[in-house]
A = this chain, B = another copy of it.
Amino acid sequence: MSSYNAPIRDMQFVMQELAGLEAVSALPGCEDASADLVDAVLEEANKFASGVIAPLNWTGDQEGATWVNGEVRTATGWKEAYKQFAEAGWTALACEPEFGGQGLPKLVSTAVMEMWKSANMAFSLCPMLTNGAIESIKLRGTDEQKAQYLHKMVSGEWTGTMNLTEPSAGSDLAAVRTRAVPEGDGTYKIFGQKIFITYGEHDMTDNIIHLVLARLPDAPEGVKGISLFVVPKFLLNADGTPGERNDVHCVSIEHKLGIHASPTAVLAFGDKGGAIGTLVGEANRGLEYMFIMMNEARFAVGMEGLALSERAYQLALAYAKDRIQGTEAGVRGGPKVSIIHHADVRRMLMSMKSQIEAQRALAYVVGAATDMAHHHPDEAVRAQNQAFMDLMIPVVKGWLTESSIEITSTGVQVHGGMGFIEETGAAQHFRDARITAIYEGTTAIQANDLIGRKIARESGLTIKGVIGEMRKVEAQLAEASGDEFAAIRKSLSSGVTALEEAVAYIVATYGGDIKAASVGSVPFLKLLGIVAGGWQMGRAALVSARRLAEGSGDASFYKAKITTARFYADHVLSQAPGLAYSVVNGAAGALALEEDQF
């Protein structure tokens, strides 16, 4: 099967040259994150990712998780790998020292997270969901809940889940029907069914801590009547060890297109008298608490898109260098060559590579903004970074995941007929990628959040600031010499203009005609992603030119970066005006048909 090796050189470039690792490690609480330490962390993480979990990716997919009488058996090797993962301290990397975490900055944990997700996305989902549960308890839990659960979850001894979805409550959580009945002793009995619960049941740890959205008896209808509860699989004994089995049971697991090794559980709460839980924070504020964590979860799913694209690229590249087929174009009867010599294979590889690099740059820059938003001493700087991060998280989630479907598909295509054969491994990345644009909020949900809460509500204040930054880069590109910079500047300039037009349309339209604005929401999200990626690639090209001029570092790497930025400008950024056209003109045609005319 395919191997994985983390793109550490590009990760370092992005962290140091684009995302400002130095500034991040100067933040209060982040001082430990020196360049040396970060390099060591990346190296160790790569060893674990490539050596331990990457080899389980394909076998786990083929074997899948299995359900027998309410118990879920994970794939061969899964349990042992998870144990190693926890023991090596990887579950605690980004967690707060107060509960046993290592407190590394988001920028650093982002790169490490990319590795887990590239190496084995199905595996990575378990710690990712656990992190969400940790955050909930940390931010809104009682002292008792924190004492009971946090250390064990941070250490990886127990895992966590997020129980939101029900058969009739997917994107619309206002429809949640699971009930919580107060017992009068501070506990609640939970009754209802939750679906799509990632790692809702498994055999890797001796307890699972479920975070569950449910309604109290007197709760108002809709989103303001939902509360959040902690419901452990095993109730805790007085000494904190797992005791009696709680009344939450896995009724079945799903048969899915991808991530076969990640058990997606249907959980029944209260079939035998009521699952016992405790309230997190205040009653009826559960959805609000979920939204606090949503940024983190959405960012992580965006990283899944990037990570799968990277893995698919590595596999396709290795095949393209290895596979001999045909002769150089126009040379009949010449020597046979590896397919990387063929123009369209190069185009495909460059398309993958350039999008991945643009997306990594954007995501890590957003990761660094998260650190700034949390730790910077200046409140104004915190607020500015928070606004940038809030704006960009739906883009990281939506754009990186939608692109990953296309990029992993290109990975299949590079393999020709072999790409369609499951043993090759390319098909798995394509199947796995498909979920990323759906869960933690579909692309439409992201786009809705983007144009509504993040843009229209503030009349485009933050995005106009970002556009100003893009224009600055455009001006710097205009000063750089050579065809490559001229090409990059030209596409960035058209792209930013297109973005401006689209923003003006959204701001002008949203209040008066939300449906018309919403038709353009997903094309707008892609447009912003593509242009923001071009902005970062423009920055990357400028830094590279500077390093080349200084004669410092790896010249081949910097030259490749400039070429890759140019490819991105010619082939990806060039789509921006067409997307803006759809945003601005696309509503009437989309909304005119009656239902029976479809």
Binding site for B on A (CB under 8 A): 165, 168, 170-172, 174-175, 195-196, 221-222, 254-258, 317, 321, 324-327, 329-330, 332-333, 336, 340, 342-347, 349-350, 353, 405-406, 409, 412-413, 416-417, 419-423, 427, 430-431, 434-435, 437-439, 442-444, 447-448, 483-484, 487, 514-516, 518-519, 521-523, 556-557, 559-560, 563-564, 566-571, 574-578, 581-582, 585-598
Most buried by B among A329, A559, A578, A587: A578
A571 touches B595 (CB 8 A): no
B435 touches A420 (CB 8 A): yes
In the bound complex, how far is the Cα of B579 from the Cα of A96, in angstroms? 48
- Enumerate chain B residues within 8 angstroms of A582, measured Cβ to Cβ: 570-571, 574
- Enumerate chain B residues within 8 angstroms of A165, measured Cβ to Cβ: 417
| Interchain nearest-CB distance for A435 vs B (Å) | 5
In the bound complex, how far is the Cα of B598 from the Cα of A564, in angstroms? 10
- Enumerate chain B residues within 8 angstroms of A557, measured Cβ to Cβ: 597
Q: Top 3 A-B pairs ranked by shortest CB distance? A: A567-B589, A343-B518, A344-B444
In the bound complex, how far is the Cα of B594 from the Cα of A570, in angstroms? 19
| Interchain nearest-CB distance for A245 vs B (Å) | 28
B347 touches A519 (CB 8 A): yes
In the bound complex, how far is the Cα of B351 from the Cα of A523, in angstroms? 12
Most buried by B among A175, A255, A417, A576: A417
In the bound complex, how far is the Cα of B564 from the Cα of A591, in angstroms? 10
Pick 20 A–B contacts, CB within 8 A, sort by A: A168-B325, A195-B417, A255-B423, A256-B421, A256-B422, A257-B420, A257-B431, A342-B518, A347-B522, A405-B409, A413-B443, A419-B438, A487-B588, A487-B589, A556-B597, A563-B592, A566-B592, A570-B588, A570-B590, A574-B581
The one of B254, B347, B559 that contacts A597, using a Cβ cutoff of 8 Å:
B559
B519 touches A346 (CB 8 A): yes
- Enumerate chain B residues within 8 angstroms of A255, measured Cβ to Cβ: 421-423
- Enumerate chain B residues within 8 angstroms of A256, measured Cβ to Cβ: 420-422, 427
A437 nearest CB neighbor, chain B only: B413
> Given A326-B171, A518-B344, A590-B346, A257–B585 Cβ distance below 8 Å?
no
- Enumerate chain B residues within 8 angstroms of A575, measured Cβ to Cβ: 575, 578
In the bound complex, how far is the Cα of B347 from the Cα of A21, in angstroms? 41
B578 touches A329 (CB 8 A): no
The one of B257, B439, B487 that contacts A427, using a Cβ cutoff of 8 Å:
B257
A427 nearest CB neighbor, chain B only: B257
- Enumerate chain B residues within 8 angstroms of A588, measured Cβ to Cβ: 483-484, 487, 566, 570
- Enumerate chain B residues within 8 angstroms of A444, measured Cβ to Cβ: 342, 344-345
In the bound complex, how far is the Cα of B349 from the Cα of A417, in angstroms? 30
The one of B421, B559, B586, B598 that contacts A570, using a Cβ cutoff of 8 Å:
B586
| Interchain nearest-CB distance for A11 vs B (Å) | 17
B254 touches A593 (CB 8 A): no
In the bound complex, how far is the Cα of B451 from the Cα of A163, in angstroms? 53
Most buried by B among A326, A515, A575, A589: A589
The one of B321, B487, B563 that contacts A585, using a Cβ cutoff of 8 Å:
B487
